Structure 1
């Protein structure tokens, strides 16, 4: 399953936005209002829970300075990645898009597509407010 967020414009340089997203503690600022829990587990890993969803542990998997930040599920039970693609517009403006890629059976995919689409949409929208 692949879900692409809308592209948003962020009033930060590409390098600055990359640095913000590469520091996973900053994802707490991007979380939706219905977050029940956010906990840093180490410098590359955090746990979060939204209303009505199980806890999820995300970790920084890799980066491609200053173009890409890839987070992934720490558990093999729900294998997915969340990639932030960053494109320089000018020295103080960057466009960003989140891409969710997961391997789920058809039933699980139907159950989570709506909530995941809303979740990455909110993350992206909040990124534009940084």
Structure 2
């Protein structure tokens, strides 16, 4: 299952946005209002929980300055990645788009597609809060 957020423009250079997103504690600022838990568990990982959803642990899997950051599920039960692609627009502006890729069975995909789509859209729309 592949989902993508809308592309959003942020008033930060690509390198500045990259630096903000590689510091996992900053993801708390991007979370939706219905967050039930957010906990940094290491230099490159965090756990978050939304009301009515199971908690998910994300870990930094890959980063290529200043254009790409890949977070992945720390558990193999639900393997997925969340990739941030950052494009430089100017010295003080960049565009970012989030891509979700997960391997789910058809039933699970049907259940999670809506909530995950809305979640990554919220993350993208909150980028200006960094």
For Structure 1 versus Structure 2, the TM-score category normalised by the shorter chain is over 0.9
Kindly indicate whether residue 83 of structure 2 is the aligned counterpart of residue 79 of structure 1. no
- Normalising by structure 2, we get a TM-score of 0.98
Instruction: Show the counterpart of 2:91.
Output: 91
CA RMSD of aligned residues (A): 0.6
Kindly indicate whether residue 53 of structure 2 is the aligned counterpart of residue 53 of structure 1. yes
CA contact (8 A) 2:28 2:38 kept: yes
CA contact (8 A) 1:10 1:129 kept: no
The whole-number CA distance in structure 1 between the counterparts of 2:64 and 2:44 is 15
Q: State the shift of 1:113 in Å.
A: 0.2
Q: How many residues align?
A: 130
The whole-number CA distance in structure 1 between the counterparts of 2:77 and 2:128 is 31
Q: State the shift of 1:128 in Å.
A: 2.9
Secondary structure, counterpart of 2:16 in structure 1? helix
Task: Summarize deviations over 1:63-96 as a string: whole Å, max 9, x none.
Answer: 0110000000000001000000000000000000
- Normalising by structure 1, we get a TM-score of 0.98
The whole-number CA distance in structure 1 between the counterparts of 2:10 and 2:37 is 26
Report matched runs for 1:8-87 at 5 Å. Answer: 8-87=8-87
